[in-house]
Amino acid sequence: TEFDLSDQTSLSKRQLTQLQELTWLEQQYNLIFLGPSGVGKTHLSIALGMEAIQKGFQVTFVTMGELLSLLKTEEFTRKSQVQLNRIRASDLVIIDDLMYMAMEQREATLFFHLINHLYERSSIILTSNKSPEQWGELLGDEGVAMAILDRILHRAEVVHMNEASYRMKHRQSMFVSESVQN
Question: Tens digit of pLDDT per residue, the chain (182 long)?
Answer: 344 556 667 888 899 899 999 999 999 999 999 999 888 899 999 999 999 999 999 999 999 999 999 999 999 999 999 999 999 999 999 999 987 778 888 898 999 999 999 998 999 999 999 888 788 777 777 788 888 889 988 999 999 998 655 555 555 666 666 555 55
The pLDDT of residue 138 is: 79
The pLDDT of residue 72 is: 95
The pLDDT of residue 1 is: 34
The pTM is what?
0.85
For 23-165, give the CATH class: alpha beta
The pLDDT of residue 112 is: 92
The pLDDT of residue 169 is: 54
Amino acid letter, residue 57: F
The pLDDT of residue 178 is: 55
The pLDDT of residue 78 is: 97
In DSSP notation, the chain reads ----GGG--SS-HHHHHHHHHTHHHHTT-EEEEE-STTSSHHHHHHHHHHHHHHTT--EEEEEHHHHHHHHHHTTT-HHHHHHHHHHHH-SEEEEESTTSS---HHHHHHHHHHHHHHTTTSEEEEEESS-HHHHHHHHT-HHHHHHHHHHHHHTEEEEE--SPPHHHHT---SS-SSPPP-
